[in-house]
Structure 1
């Protein structure tokens, strides 16, 4: 028995130590499974964050419109379509006026549309560049920003305004 142990120790000392091919393949398979689980989850988190930024941009636009209304003699700004360019700002104003403006900054990749519907009411719709979720705010209804049932910004803006309560 002692002889067998001495032979095994000599083999280890000779540099025959290391991982077998099967052990290495098992490790590679485990890493592959972990990556296959993690990548789709990461992409879903990014998509959700992008959609939440569009919702936040609509909220910021509502605040800017209401502040414009208050500071400019109870008049709402002109209609706006703001494309989603990185660091773009939405400037709410009437005509070419450079005074009495309100600015809301858009997140990269978000598009925002503001439209007056009837006297004293407006609708703001926004979405991220993935184009799958549209967020809408209607001043006639009030409340919070909600997911729109419409699938694109044009339909969101053209949808019939709700009856004034």
Structure 2
């Protein structure tokens, strides 16, 4: 084993026969770190997108369950339940029907919204990732869902 490599006195590096000095320059290390950083950022971005898509999918599935409960209500009473105000919290409207079967809040922690425009129609939606604007509301009845 001693004959295969020898320690260089000046730098503390190892020298292998046929390979020359082993070690990396600072530039090579920086390039490797840059590549690792790019891969991590791509992975984190993909993870965030997948997480958001999963939450939107959960909200859509919850809304479909609420719609089924609303249809049961309409079959039983001949109309959709009235909203208490312009917009009501879904569980307040559906509590007689669902009895704890459905989640009261969307994946972002806010209550699902219900608006009954008249006896025969309604709108049910989640406010989405931010409650600030309507652009990201989760409403499967909108075009594109």
Instruction: Place the TM-score, normalised by the shorter chain, in its bin.
Output: 0.5 to 0.7
- 1:78 corresponds in structure 2 to 82
Residue 106 (structure 2) pairs with residue 90 (structure 1):
no
Cα separation, 2, equivalents of 1:122 and 1:61 = 11
**What TM-score does the superposition give when structure 2 sets the normalisation length?**
0.62
> What is the CA RMSD across the aligned residues, in angstroms?
3.3
**Alignment counterpart, residue 134 of structure 1, candidates 124, 137, 141:** 137
| Contact preservation (8 Å) 1:116, 1:123 | yes
Residue 19 (structure 2) pairs with residue 16 (structure 1):
no
Query: After superposition, what is the alpha-carbon deviation per residue over 1:27-75, rounded to whole angstroms, capped at 9, x for unaligned?
Result: 212211212322222222222222222222221211111122334x324
Gaps of 5+ in 1: 1-5, 83-88, 137-144, 150-165
Residue 67 (structure 2) pairs with residue 62 (structure 1):
yes
Gaps of 5+ in 2: 15-21
Name segments (4+ residues, structure 1) moved above 4 Å.
Answer: none
Aligned length: 122
Cα separation, 1, equivalents of 2:24 and 2:50 = 38
**What TM-score does the superposition give when structure 1 sets the normalisation length?**
0.56
